[in-house]
Structure 1
Amino acid sequence: MHTDVQSFAVAHLLRRPAPCEAGGFVLGFDPATTSPYVNYATPLPGAEPTDRDVADLIAAFRERGLKPRLEFAPDAAPAVEPALRRAGFRTEAVHEYLVCTPATLTLPGSGPGAAGPVEVAAPVTDEDYTAIDVALSEAFGGEWAPSPQGAARLRRTEEGGGAVRFVRAPGGGCAGGAICSAPAEGTAELAGVGTLPAHRGRGIAAAVASALAGTLFGRGARSVWLEYSGEGSRRVYERVGFRPGGTRLYLSLDD
């Protein structure tokens, strides 16, 4: 499965507004933001980069004023990590990912204290996209600031073959939501699952994850994968059909 996930990572970065390739790497750049979580690179499966290739990779980031950063499944390109380590790249994180297929997908039950099934919606208006962007920013502790550009990226995801789903707060706005990319290489990435603190414990994360996976399976994806942030979230995703798939490595180079 790691090869499918890595092939997906390559195809996903090639969708960025300004992608480029250097020495067996694909670099996905978006001029609208300097965020390292948007602007990063990944190797082609089986890549065996030389030190010169890595130097060219670093130069491509530096000339844009960006931090050199990569995300990849190391088992799909075993020669990449040693080459990056020689250049001084350090580990940001190692994340396990989970995979869901049509055969394992299940519908979630109601969360503890919920009055009934959680209703998941697709955004329609600009206000919907703005509310989701604002809510996810808060749910992730302000790791990024909500912005018109962020709301526009959510709309592009929905209109580009991916999906954005959310649960409305009782008084309006967004209580929680998530994003799933358009399929590539038969799989799609589900990301940014977040719920506002006041609405946690209602089963929102499970409902949104299940709805997104089902939507992408309906569009032909053979699997949907995601990374989880802790054992609590892992249990949530396992309840709706996600199973262990492998690991992904995050490396970056300090100034």
Structure 2
Amino acid sequence: MLNRIETYYDAVPRSSARAEEFGPLILFVQEGQGWPFYARPALGATGEITVEDVEKVRARQRELGVPEAFEWVAETTPGLRAAVEASGLTVHEHPLMVLEGDGLAVPEPEGVTVRMVGADDPGLGSAVAAPYAAFGMAPQPGTAERIGGRIEAGLTRLAAAFDGTGDALTAGQHQPVGPVSEVVGVGTVPAARRRGLGLAVTAALVADARAHGAELVFLSASDADVARLYGRLGFRTVATALIAEA
């Protein structure tokens, strides 16, 4: 299972990023607009990853003006954490969770409509903006069009919870690559939190992923409390996702 997830992690950025190799590490560099990617262990890399390996990647990230960030799975690359921390980065732990079965249904919250959002959907812009608002940010110009293009290409599936006026209160995505898909970017605008909207949108994404042939659906929870919520949908923790930042 973890090997399949590693293969996914290597494949999914390549639809919009170029890969630069640094020995046992690989840096994905976003082509054009979009959220900046990260560095991670190269697929199939063996042997020790040193502080010097990490520093080479960080130097390149500074040169490119992108965040000095690394993402990996603790259980598949256990030696990387020591090298990353020795270079001065801070490592955060997140439960890595895999869906068992088809996912459990949850009641649709009152006063909202939860649905998938297509590339030509009038709610696309609002759905794209909602997760950014959840974290106090604004999307870059052209983000909705870029996401729409990914939806048309089958690279992204987007779901949202809309209020009666058509504004998205919560949205999230899953990113299919063959029979594997990851649920990402689920966020709720601050005024609509604690209503079960994130869980309802995640359930819609899970159902859509299964309906489109995903055999393995997974996600990374922000912390143990959020992991318990995802457990209500049938997700279980199988490993630890690590994110390192400057």
Is residue 121 from structure 1 mapped to residue 116 from structure 2 by the alignment? yes
Structure number with the higher strand fraction is: 2
State the identity as a percent.
26
1:97 CA displacement: 1.9
The number of residues matched between the two structures is 243
Q: Are the equivalent residues in 1 in contact too, given 2:114–2:204 (CA < 8 A)?
A: no
What is the CA–CA distance in structure 2 between the aligned matches of 1:167 and 1:150, rounded to whole Å?
19
What is the CA–CA distance in structure 1 between the aligned matches of 2:188 and 2:68, rounded to whole Å?
30
1:190 CA displacement: 0.6
RMSD of aligned residue pairs (Cα, Å) = 2.6
- 1:64-79 equivalences in 2 (<5 Å): 64-79=64-79
Structure 1's unaligned 5+ residue stretches are none
Is residue 238 from structure 1 mapped to residue 231 from structure 2 by the alignment? yes
| Greater mean deviation of Cα atoms: 218-227 or 51-60 | 51-60
- 1:25-40 equivalences in 2 (<5 Å): 25-32=25-32, 38-40=36-38
1:248 CA displacement: 0.9
What is the CA–CA distance in structure 2 between the aligned matches of 1:223 and 1:167, rounded to whole Å?
24
- 1:72-87 equivalences in 2 (<5 Å): 72-86=72-86
Q: Are the equivalent residues in 2 in contact too, given 1:136–1:177 (CA < 8 A)?
A: yes
Change (3 A) 1:34 1:176: closer
1:174 CA displacement: 0.9
What is the CA–CA distance in structure 1 between the aligned matches of 2:160 and 2:186, rounded to whole Å?
9
1:127 CA displacement: 4.5
1:179 CA displacement: 0.9
AA at the equivalent of 1:158: I
Match of 2:17 in 1: 17
List per-residue Cα deviations over 1:56-89 (Å, max 9, x = no partner).
3233213212232101102112232233334x14
Change (3 A) 1:126 1:179: same
| Greater mean deviation of Cα atoms: 169-178 or 198-207 | 198-207
Kindly report structure 1 stretches of 4+ aligned residues shifted beyond 6 Å: none
Is residue 204 from structure 1 mapped to residue 197 from structure 2 by the alignment? yes
What is the CA–CA distance in structure 1 between the aligned matches of 2:186 and 2:176, rounded to whole Å?
16
What is the CA–CA distance in structure 1 between the aligned matches of 2:122 and 2:91, rounded to whole Å?
34
| TM-score, normalised relative to structure 1 | 0.82
Match of 1:96 in 2: 95
What is the CA–CA distance in structure 2 between the aligned matches of 1:231 and 1:248, rounded to whole Å?
12
List per-residue Cα deviations over 1:24-78 (Å, max 9, x = no partner).
222111144585xx22111125533355533432332132122321011021122
Match of 1:139 in 2: 134
Q: Are the equivalent residues in 2 in contact too, given 1:74–1:248 (CA < 8 A)?
A: yes
* Other structure's SS at 1:18 match: strand
Q: Are the equivalent residues in 1 in contact too, given 2:117–2:124 (CA < 8 A)?
A: no
Change (3 A) 1:232 1:153: farther
What is the CA–CA distance in structure 2 between the aligned matches of 1:20 and 1:219, rounded to whole Å?
32
1:125 CA displacement: 2.9
Change (3 A) 1:205 1:59: same
What is the CA–CA distance in structure 2 between the aligned matches of 1:237 and 1:51, rounded to whole Å?
35
AA at the equivalent of 1:119: V
What is the CA–CA distance in structure 2 between the aligned matches of 1:34 and 1:157, rounded to whole Å?
12
Match of 2:41 in 1: 43
What is the CA–CA distance in structure 2 between the aligned matches of 1:9 and 1:241, rounded to whole Å?
22
Match of 1:247 in 2: 240
* Other structure's SS at 1:234 match: helix
Change (3 A) 1:97 1:249: same
1:188 CA displacement: 1.6
What is the CA–CA distance in structure 1 between the aligned matches of 2:224 and 2:50, rounded to whole Å?
38
Change (3 A) 1:127 1:27: farther
AA at the equivalent of 1:120: R
List per-residue Cα deviations over 1:122-160 (Å, max 9, x = no partner).
2343742221222222222x1x32232332342244233
AA at the equivalent of 1:39: F
Change (3 A) 1:54 1:202: closer
The equivalent position to 1:154 in structure 2, one of 134, 139, 147, is 147
